[in-house]
Each structure stands twice: as C-alpha cells, then as structure tokens.
Amino acid sequence: MLMIVNLMVELLALFICVHAVHGKKLKVDVATVATYVSMIAIMFLSNTFEWHSAVVIITYIFLYLFCVFQFKQGPASAFVSVVLAMILIVVIQFCCVIVFALLPDFDETLRGFIINIITVWIIVFLSVKVELNKLKEIICRRHWLMYSIMAFTLIVVMLSLIQMKKNSSINVGFFAFGIPSIALIFCLLVYWDKSSNAEKELKAERDTMLLMKDNYDDLVVRVKENQHGINNHMMAVLSSHYAYKSYDDLVEAQQEYCDTIQEENKYNSLVLINNSTLGGFLYAKLQEMEGKGIDIEYRILTQVCECEMPYYYIVESLGVLLDNAAEAVLSSDLEKQVSFEVSKRDSHYIFTIRNVFRQVDFEEIEHWFYRGVTSKGEGHGIGLHRVRNLCEKHGCEITCRNVSLDDKNWIEFNLIIREKEGDA
C-alpha cells in the first residue's frame, strides 16, 4: 500500500513541476487524471512483476504526449519540458537521499515516501517563488550549446533514474559526478542567458535610438520651418485690422488665426527634452494618439540626460502606459483626454501619464499589474506586469493613483527613473 502511495506522491511532484515549467498551476482535468493514472499503473505493474527497469522510462512517453496536447506544445518544446521536469525532480531527490544517508537506517519504502513528500513541498515552493518557465525559455533557444547540454543532462538523469528504480539506492560515485555536473550546467545556462540578453539589449537600444532619431530630426526640421515663418505670421496678425471693419470681426479672425498657428506649432516643445530618442518617440506616439481622436496635453519641464534605465526600456515602458491610456479613453464614454508630463525631482525623472477614468480602488489598481490581466483576451495583459519588472530590474519605480482635476477623476501613472550617477 505504501508503495502505491509513494508512486502517487512522486508523480504528483512531477506533474506540478511540468505545469510550473509552462508557467501554470496544476489543473485537475480529464487529461491530467488519465495521464496520471496510466503512469501509476505502469510503474506499479513494473514493480510488482519486476519488469525491466527501462520499462519505467516508457511511462514518460505519456507525459510527453500530455505536454503536446495539454499545453499545445511542439515536439521539441514538449521534449524540453519533460526532460527539464525530470532533471529538477531527480536533482531534488538526489539531494534528499544524500541527507538521509547521514541518518540511521530505516525502511527503504518509508524513506522513499518521505523523500517524495519533501520533493513535492520543494517543487511547490519553487513554482511559487521561481519562474521556472523562464528556464525553459532559455533552453528552448535553438543553439547548439543548448542541445549539447540537454543531451548530457538527459543521459545523466536517465542512468540515475534507472539505477535508482532498480536498486532503490544511488551509487555515491555517480552522485558525486552527476550533481556537480548538473549544477555547473545550470550556472553556465544562467551566465550564457545573461550575456545573450545583454547583447540583445544593446542591439535593441541601438536600433531604437536610430529609429527615434529619424523622428526627432523630422521634428527639428518642422520647428525650424515654423520659426522661419513666425515673423510673417506676426505681421499678418498685426495687419489684420486693415481687413476688418468691426472690432468683433477682428477679434474673431485674430483668434482663429492664432489657434491655427498654435495647432501647427504644438509639438515644438518636445525639443526641450533635449533627447533625440525620447523626443522622437513622443513625437510619433502623440501624433498617433491624436490621429485616433484623442485630445493630448503635454508639458516638458526638464531635459532628460543619462538614466539608470536604458532608453530602449524607457521607450517600451512609456509606450505601454500611453497605449493603455489611449485604450482606456477610447473604450469609455468619458472625455477623450490624455495628459503627459516630464519633470524632475532631486535625481529622479518623473514621466506622468493621466487619462480621464472612473474612480478605482487600490485592490483593482494592484490587480492591473498582475500578469495576464487585460480586456484583450487570454494571452495578453503583460504590459504593466512587464513595466513593473523592468522598474524592479533597474532600480526604478512605477506608481498609480486616482487624481481629481477640473472636477473629473483621472488615473495617473508615474514612471520614476533615476538619473545616472555622475550626471546629476
């Protein structure tokens, strides 16, 4: 009886781990239960009739097929999911076994049961505290190093699993070789991922700066063209009293003419930000929002110099916040108004985005930052979650609150970014 319970607990840990590798919690449905029961049945029969230990490995084919159909995975991705889950489970079990080897001897089946209970607890803890799906994303990159590492770890785990199932024990020499090797492999994976991400970040930032510089150059040309014509516009306004006989007609004509001039020059203040990347981005983004019928008000109260967060991520974060503001006003019956402001307090730049919105309580605001929360449907809603992660990574801050202005409620987001040390 204890043997069956032991198998059930061990497979429970494996199923929790497989779901965690896909970034999901364990879901009890027909497919999960059917796969779970099938694997238990094969393992139980193998132990009862002393089948060849390799038969146990066949049970993992069920898990592989489960990943393919349950998570809509491709063959390669499903294979990586199963192998990674097996590696994590076996490594945890190995660590538990080496600890139990220091304790007095007691029943082998009971020891296995306790080890599996501990394994379940550790896997549950890891699934909550660690994003195991990111580890899978690293491995799934099509690179010869990833394939070599997965092949090596698969061999180590398969041999370990067969030997452990067959003898209910672990060879100390094999343990001494396998565990440090797997630990080293994961360290190399993390190091390689950081190096690869740093390289991609530099390339993405360079491409963003080049693209936004073109937008900024267009803005500068437009400002210069408007400056050349400002004297002619002033002369036209001052001379307009010759064309109108009544004072009311004159005032109306001058107001209309000045409104036209103001409309043509409304983006001139963006050059005050003195940053081609941010200026070019804001010029393009504000024009895009205006084209959707949104009334934009903006103020540039400071120049933006070097920041702790790369410009590429500032552009990404501001894009998320401005897109969210545009979507909110377009999907409501309230005024289509969005406000944007850049200011500075001490050594922090503050990018403020506001839009007219209903009153929102703190719990709902906090819920917006959860991964997957959106009105766009499943698979979206990672914007604010992504922005908060970027802020945490670069020592910045994102805040949200209700603000009452002009007898209307506004939702205000503040992206607070530290000025780079040495530039203050």
pLDDT value at 161 more than 60: no
CA distance 158 to 152: 10
The gap between the terminal CA atoms of the chain, to the nearest Å, is 70
Q: How does residue 185 score in pLDDT terms, banded at 50, 70 and 90?
A: low
* 4-49: pLDDT as tens digits: 888 888 889 989 999 988 888 888 888 899 998 888 888 878 777 7
What tokens appear for 13 in the block? 């840990």
Token digits for 392? 């945490």
Please, what are the domains in the chain?
A: 2-170 (no CATH), 202-418 (3.30.565.10)
Which range (7-11, 181-185, 329-333, 401-405) has the least confidence?
Answer: 181-185
Query: Which three-class secondary structure state does DSSP give residue 298?
Result: strand
Angle at 266 between CA 261 and CA 270, to 5 degrees: 145
Confidence category of residue 176, pLDDT binned at 50, 70, 90: low
1, pLDDT greater than 90: no
User: Alpha-carbon distance 116 to 119, whole Å?
Assistant: 5
**Greater model confidence, 356 or 180:** 356
Q: How many helices (H) and strands (E) does the chain have?
A: 13, 5
Categorize the per-residue pLDDT at 352 as very low, low, confident or very high, splitting at 50, 70 and 90. very high
**Distance (Å, rounded) from C-alpha 295 to C-alpha 246?**
33
- The pLDDT assigned to 171 comes to 55
- Across 320-342, average pLDDT: 90
Would you say the pTM of this structure is higher than 0.75? no
Helix (H) or strand (E) holding 233: helix 172-239
What number is the average pLDDT over the span 166-181? 57
Least confident window among 4-13, 139-148, 163-172, 190-199: 163-172
Q: Which residue has the higher pLDDT, 362 or 179?
A: 362
What would the pLDDT profile of 109-126 be if each residue is shown by its tens digit?
A: 777 788 889 989 999 988
Q: Which two tokens stand for residue 32?
A: 């999960």
Report which residue type is found at 380.
Answer: H
What mean pLDDT is predicted for residues 374-385?
54
**Which residues are 345's β-sheet partners?**
348
Residue 197 per-residue DSSP state: H
What confidence score (pLDDT) does residue 377 get? 38
Q: What is the mean pLDDT of residues 345-368?
A: 90
Report the C-alpha gap between 423 and 289 in whole angstroms. 33
CB-based contacts of 366, cutoff 8 Å, min separation 6: none
Copy the structure tokens of residue 40: 């238990």
CA distances from 280 to 218, 221, 315, 415 (A): 8, 12, 10, 19
pLDDT for 255 equals: 63
Of 162 and 302, the one with more pLDDT = 302
DSSP secondary structure code for residue 310 in this structure: -
Q: What was the pLDDT predicted at 222?
A: 62
pLDDT at 158 over 80: no
pLDDT at site 381: 47
Beta strands of 268-381 (E only): which ranges? 295-300, 337-345, 348-356
Beta-ladder partners of 340: 298, 353
